[in-house]
Structure 1
């Protein structure tokens, strides 16, 4: 499996292509079925695009909110529809856009000899938090597609058992609880940094562990609830996202220097008078 990603600003154009409705590139409905819809009301490409664009407007910084990834398998490889759906969902999670936080639309195309799906992600999340990052995609995606391939059953059984253990009910519940609590906390205007977040989570029975590099930069985060450990990536709040949140917190807000108030005209005259030397009569 390989992944190819582009970004853009036109949701309607992107989804129209996914649905096989782009001018000159029309497909029959059975050639471009809709596989996944998350946080979007299922409808025409135009209707879904309008929904996604409304969420994208929550961010003034992101000029290209459309994330388009094509997941492709090699020719002749048998891939079930369930595997395609699972691959698309897992890709979103691993790339940093879990479908419980982002709007996602996935189409399957059947116009090639090889199986492939088109994944459309709104980079701006539903909670208006940090947007899906686009840096280092070239290096990240090979590792992600390799992991997905292993989880889909393309590796020996022991590897598969190790990967699917992450889906046990206790771990899933821990992820959901931690994710929801963090979501509520970071939405508070009085958030004050990672120590504040750690203390607030501790009050709710969640322990937090931060990892920093030699320069003191936050590089990793994990949480533990009732003896079940989950990573920041698994709950949708990686170290990079937390760094951005902390950088915009009131605690780290940049303060402008306080300048002295300007002097009144009378004060200015008195000061000028002090500077002038008295002139006596000439002898």
Structure 2
């Protein structure tokens, strides 16, 4: 299970997208909702905006999460099950599904099961739903749901499904096969770069980097000179081939080899570094929870203070 989290501004645009009223062939189907009408995108957006008005200064009030599952789980993931998963996902993010507006819509335009969850970041009490560390928290929640429902672990099938959730702006604007190919290649380059930013610094050789990239659906191809030194490196994803230097100067064959040599010289242990990354995420999560606890405590203290007789205009 993969959750792709975004925070946006317009409920109108988001509701029109998830309900797919202009593209009924995509088979958008509302699975569940709370606090909003689902008969039209206009009505849904109006209901979201009515509550959003309690926090006019909150620019990005739209929380959008695309939840994707491996194609192998299609039979298991009935509409009822996916609806329950959406509510469990909200609870995992510490969002009260009974005190928050939300809607979950399943799309049928991909081979793998996926749904779109739209949430109002202003709850029914007028309080702001925090998006602090929400992406890292989402990863933890998805892993927990995989265990609870006996689902295939996302890392076992790679991240292809996450890429299929929706096109990039450049892909949407492409009108010719050539433009589409260029847009698809650009997207592959961006995702390869994102993967390398997490893996290249943890590896001590091209072999270790290759093994770290494979679970992400990326292959590494290396050519060497006669003396054995690396001549060039190419990364391949879904048929798109990208040279390391096209991803970034740091990922050319020579610069990667220099980084591996430095890591070997310093005696870095990749297992320890991955453990450190996990600890960093845990500390970030703890910091977020501590900040939220302090905020709640301050709000409680403020509410317990005796009234000073202030009027509505004060």
TM-score (norm 1): 0.54
Please give the alpha-carbon distance, in whole angstroms, between the structure 1 residues aligned to 2:57 and 2:304: 20
SS of residue paired to 1:100 = coil
Deviates more, 1:77-86 or 1:106-115: 77-86
Equivalent residues of 1:9, 1:64 under 8 A apart: yes
1:10 matches 2:10:
yes
CA spacing shift, 1:43–1:251, aligned 2, 3 Å: closer
1:28-76 superposed Cα distances (whole Å, 9 cap, x missing partner) = 3x71011111012332111111111010111134211100000000123
Aligned residue-pair number: 168
1:84-120 superposed Cα distances (whole Å, 9 cap, x missing partner) = 1111111111112221010001100000010000000
Please give the alpha-carbon distance, in whole angstroms, between the structure 1 residues aligned to 2:30 and 2:59: 26
Q: Shift of residue 153 of structure 1?
A: 3.1
The 5-angstrom pairing of residues 75-114 of structure 1 reads 75-78=71-74, 79-114=77-112
Q: 2:34 matched to which residue of 1?
A: 38
Please give the alpha-carbon distance, in whole angstroms, between the structure 2 residues aligned to 1:251 and 1:40: 30
Q: 1:216 matched to which residue of 2?
A: none
CA spacing shift, 1:151–1:13, aligned 2, 3 Å: same
Please give the alpha-carbon distance, in whole angstroms, between the structure 2 residues aligned to 1:49 and 1:40: 8
Q: 1:134 matched to which residue of 2?
A: 131
The 5-angstrom pairing of residues 1-283 of structure 1 reads 1-21=1-21, 26-28=23-25, 31-78=27-74, 79-129=77-127, 131-154=128-151, 240-248=291-299, 249-250=301-302
Please give the alpha-carbon distance, in whole angstroms, between the structure 2 residues aligned to 1:114 and 1:66: 25
Please give the alpha-carbon distance, in whole angstroms, between the structure 1 residues aligned to 2:124 and 2:138: 24
CA spacing shift, 1:10–1:128, aligned 2, 3 Å: same
> Structure 1: which 5+ runs fail to align?
156-218, 221-237, 254-283
> Structure 2: which 5+ runs fail to align?
153-285, 306-314
Equivalent residues of 2:73, 2:151 under 8 A apart: no
Higher Rg of the two aligned structures: 1
Equivalent residues of 1:97, 1:123 under 8 A apart: no
Equivalent residues of 2:30, 2:38 under 8 A apart: no
Please give the alpha-carbon distance, in whole angstroms, between the structure 1 residues aligned to 2:303 and 2:118: 36
CA spacing shift, 1:40–1:75, aligned 2, 3 Å: same
SS of residue paired to 2:73 = coil
TM-score (norm 2): 0.49
Q: Shift of residue 12 of structure 1?
A: 1.2
1:230-278 superposed Cα distances (whole Å, 9 cap, x missing partner) = xxxxxxxx7654532433443899xxxxxxxxxxxxxxxxxxxxxxxxx
SS of residue paired to 2:297 = helix
CA spacing shift, 1:241–1:81, aligned 2, 3 Å: same
CA spacing shift, 1:14–1:75, aligned 2, 3 Å: same
SS of residue paired to 2:117 = strand
